Chain A
Amino acid sequence: MAALLEVKNLETRFYTEAGMVKAVDGVSYHLDELEIIGLVGESGCGKSVSQMSTMQLIPTPPGIISGGEVIFEGRDLLRYPANGPEMRSIRGAKIAMIFQEPMTSLNPVLPICRQLTEMLELHLGMDEEASRKRAIELLTLVGIPGAEGRVDDYPHQFSGGMRQRVMIAMALSCNPRIMIADEPTTALDVTTQAQLLELMKEMVDHFRASLVIVTHNLGVVARYAQRIYVMYAGRIVESGTTKDIFSNPRHPYTIGLLSCVPRLDEERGRKLVPIVGLPPNLINMPQTCAFLPRCPYSIERCKQEKWPPLEHLDGQHYAACFVKPEKTGGSNER
């Protein structure tokens, strides 16, 4: 069965004062119907940029989507002009996105109602009355109490968690097939985080949509995602089902990530092991593996050959590493 969304070799560059940055360097992934996938990596690894690229939301200049394909509903979206009618009919209507900062992602001078109805009117052709009714329904659906009374309020009258719920309502208002959540809970406190994630899961089930969760927090994806992609320095370094990644991580970076997170089911007194070093400077990257400076398992081959390609391990599990599994196994075997 064909995937709902298939991204092949996506490449996005930014031209800055200091040089050219390849924020996304040959990323490929796919998303099936009714699936939840996680895109994990640290700040600056290109995960947000890759998602914005699929919707062609990259500001050009200084950025440019320089290669690859984004196949959705049988068409390559990158063939269309960024602000042309085709992309506009997809954004919001077929693929929707919610962002990290609920405090600043809503227009402060428009009432919430208008920010919802403008999408309903544009994509679903609803009239004023119908769209207003639907807006109230949507707000109730995402758990805003007393929606009818609050629908004409302004964003500054809502708390951060509530604003994010409004964003979720906005994203799902036109029944998109894919919702992309870019670090949706990073700016919120832990309790609200949990509530919001539950809400997102409920909503995508309700609307029968697929979800991409972009995050640096492994805990988030462990619970909700079916498959996970791990990104580093603009590339995918490991991918697989959630079980694969958590119980049998293969790329040293993934292993490193898991080692820094405490787990309930391990022996007490285990030291949390951080990944040494700093994220790479993406300008003038060497041809070898980007993780090499920080990798505790590197071998001669890593220093000599170009960045390893994604190697199929088994099932849906892929990793981009030259080092054999026996050498890296150990602390994460369950």
Chain B
Amino acid sequence: MQTYLYRRLIQAVFVLILATFVVFLIMRLLPGDPVLLYVSQDEYTRMTSVEEIEALRHEFGLDKPLLLQYVYWIGGVTRGDLGKSIFMGTTVGSEIARALPISIHLGLVTWFISHVIGPVAGTICAVRRGKWSDTVITVLANIGICAPIFWVGILLIYTFGLHLGWLPIQGYVFPWEDFWESTRKAIMPAFCLALPHMAGSTRQTRSSMLETIRQDYIRTAWSKGLRERTVVMRHAVRNGIIPVVTMAGMAIPRIFGGQVLIETVFNIPGMGRLAVDALFTQDYAVVQGTVLVIAVIVVLSNFVVDVSYGWIDPRVRYQ
């Protein structure tokens, strides 16, 4: 197990570095001058002489080789310096610090809902294959992965917010400020975010469990006289859950992606909204910062998922 963990750790670090490099490169895709990372479009257009621009470039180290720029930038990042937000006048770091907890809260709730309900529903389907409950759940799951989540959000707002007036249609409250209100505001956004993942992991669990149930060792378990519950939980689920863990890992970046849409629909000041607003206001340093932070979180959580793999599936430990 130890070697497995070390190997995974080294891989994670390698991937992390690569990811930061990718972020760096993408931002260089800027149409126009990289100086725009540091000054606003207006200020840039106001500069008339080439020397001014050159001086600015030199100030931000943009005349140095690309690799060196990367190193400086990363150095700054590790010290907590992610640059300044041109549009809002604050540091990128402070904006992220404000938005990140919100996104993490919503993201965690979503992740847990999806990966508890999903596998449970999928297992029910597999065990009760062909019966009414299987058909209904499968149909719902098939629909759930097809619906555009921003549209579902709008539908929910229309029904539960505007027409029935049961739930608030926008905004966010921290759970420790007002738990009840926080929950009311979070229900619809969390549901929308969770929908494709609940549906996806239901389908995946169902197919994986159906495959598992056909295995020889399940027949052995029955022949030992074990109860249905034992056969399902101790023998079938433990094996069938393995691909679902993979799915759960892949869901993490996608949930962040979903937040980009949902936070827009529900007007929630999280990382998604931050990134989108920054893109449209050409506040590129903020974009760079948010994308970077999200990537780091994803790589770290993938490492945790890898570790749990080793715990669940002993065959992996001995590779």
Listed in ascending order, the chain A residues whose CB lies under 8 Å from chain B are 55, 57, 61, 83, 87-93, 96-97, 99, 101, 104-111, 118-119, 122-123, 154, 156-157, 167, 170
- Contact status B223-A91, CB under 8 Å: yes
Residues in A whose Cβ lies below 8 Å from that of B228: 83
Tell me if A110 and B225 are in contact (CB < 8 A).
no
In the complex, what distance in Å separates the CA atom of A332 from the CA atom of B314? Answer: 54
Q: Identify the 3 closest CB pairs spanning chains A and B, nearest first.
A: A91-B225, A92-B225, A92-B224
Q: Which residues of B contact A156 (CB under 8 A)?
A: 314-315, 318
Are A107 and B217 within 8 A (Cβ)?
A: yes
Residue of A nearest to B238 (CB): A109
Contact with A along B213-245 (1 / 0, CB 8 A): 001110111111111101000110011000000
The one of B216, B234, B312, B314 that contacts A118, using a Cβ cutoff of 8 Å: B234
Give the residues in chain A near B238, CB-CB below 8 Å.
107, 109-110
Known: A93-B225, A118-B224. 13 other contacts (CB 8 A): A61-B130, A88-B226, A91-B223, A96-B223, A96-B224, A97-B223, A109-B238, A109-B313, A110-B238, A118-B226, A122-B224, A156-B314, A170-B220
Which residues of A have CB within 8 Å of B314? 108-109, 111, 154, 156
* Beta-carbon contact of B219 and A99 below 8 Å: yes
Q: State the CA gap A170–B221 with chains docked (Å).
A: 11
Q: Which residue of B lies closest to A167 (CB)?
A: B220
Question: Does B234 lie within 8 Å of A122, measured CB to CB?
Answer: no
B227 CB contacts on chain A under 8 angstroms:
88
Closest to A90 in B: B225
Alpha-carbon separation in the docked complex, A292 to B154 (Å): 72
Contact check, B225 vs A122: say whether CB atoms are below 8 A apart.
yes
B220 touches A105 (CB 8 A): yes
Q: CB-CB < 8 A to B222: which residues of A?
A: 57, 91
Min CB distance B218 to A, Å, is 8
Asked whether, in the complex, the Cβ of B224 is within 8 Å of the Cβ of A105, the reply is: no
The residue that B216 contacts in the complex, of A92, A93, A101, with Cβ under 8 A, is A101
Nearest CB of chain B from residue A160's CB, rounded to whole Å: 13
Q: Which residue of A lies closest to B312 (CB)?
A: A109
How far apart are the CA atoms of A85 and B318 in the complex, in Å? 39
Chain A residue contacts of B313, Cβ below 8 A: 108-109
- Using Cβ atoms and an 8 Å threshold, which residues of chain B touch A107? 217, 220-221, 235, 238-239
Q: Would you list 8 pairs from A and B whose C-beta atoms are within 8 A, ordered by A residue? A: A91-B224, A99-B220, A105-B219, A107-B217, A107-B235, A118-B234, A123-B225, A156-B314
Q: How far is the CA of A250 from the CA of B310 in the complex (A)?
A: 59
| Alpha-carbon distance A157/B228, docked complex (angstroms) | 28
Closest chain-A Cβ to B50's Cβ sits at a distance in Å of 67
Provide the residues of chain B in CB contact with A167, threshold 8 Å: 220
Chain B residue nearest to A56 in the complex (CB): B222
Most B CB contacts (10 A, CB to CB) among A57, A118, A167 go to: A118
A-contacting residues, B189-231, CB 8 Å: 215-217, 219-228, 230
Q: Which residue of A lies closest to B215 (CB)?
A: A104
CB of B275, distance to nearest CB on chain A (Å): 40
- The answer for the CA separation of A97 and B228 in the assembled complex, in Å, is 18
Residue of A nearest to B220 (CB): A105
Q: Which residue of A lies closest to B314 (CB)?
A: A154
Q: CB distance B224 to A110 under 8 Å?
A: no
Please determine whether A106 and B234 come into contact, CB atoms closer than 8 angstroms. no
Task: Determine the chain B residues whose CB is within 8 A of the CB of A119 once the complex forms.
Answer: 224-225
Q: Contacts of A61 on B, CB cut-off 8 Å?
A: 130
- Which residues from chain B contact A157 at a C-beta distance below 8 Å? 318
Q: Quick check: A106 and B223 within 8 Å, CB to CB?
A: no
* Contact of B217 with A122 in the complex, beta carbons under 8 Å: no
Of B220, B221, B312, B314, chain A has the most CB atoms within 10 Å of the CB of: B220
The distance in angstroms between the C-alpha atoms of A122 and B224, with both chains bound, is 10
B315 and A110: CB pair below 8 A? no
Name the B residues within 8 Å of A87 (CB-CB).
225
A182 to B164, CA, bound (A): 64
| Cα separation A118 to B230 with both chains bound (whole Å) | 10
Interface string of B298-319 (1 = CB under 8 A from A): 0000000000000011110010
Closest chain A residue to B315, Cβ basis: A156
Q: How far is the CA of A55 from the CA of B220 in the complex (A)?
A: 12
* Distance of A123 Cα from B224 Cα, bound (Å): 9
Known A101-B216, A105-B216, A107-B217; contact A55-B223, beta-carbon cutoff 8 A: yes
**Most chain A CB within a 10 A radius of its CB, from B239, B313, B314:** B314
Partner of B217, one of A83, A91, A97, A105: A105
Are A89 and B235 CB-contacts (below 8 A) given A57-B219, A109-B313, A154-B314?
A: no
Q: Given the complex of chains A and B, what is the CA–CA distance between A89 and B215 in angstroms?
A: 23
The contact of A106 among B217, B225, B226, B315, by CB within 8 Å, is B217
Q: CB-nearest residue of chain B relative to A157? A: B318
Q: How far is the CA of A170 from the CA of B94 in the complex (A)?
A: 62
Nearest neighbor of B317 in chain A, beta-carbon distance = A154
Task: Give Cα A96 to B315, complex, Å.
Answer: 28
Neighbouring B residues of A88 by C-beta, 8 Å = 225-227
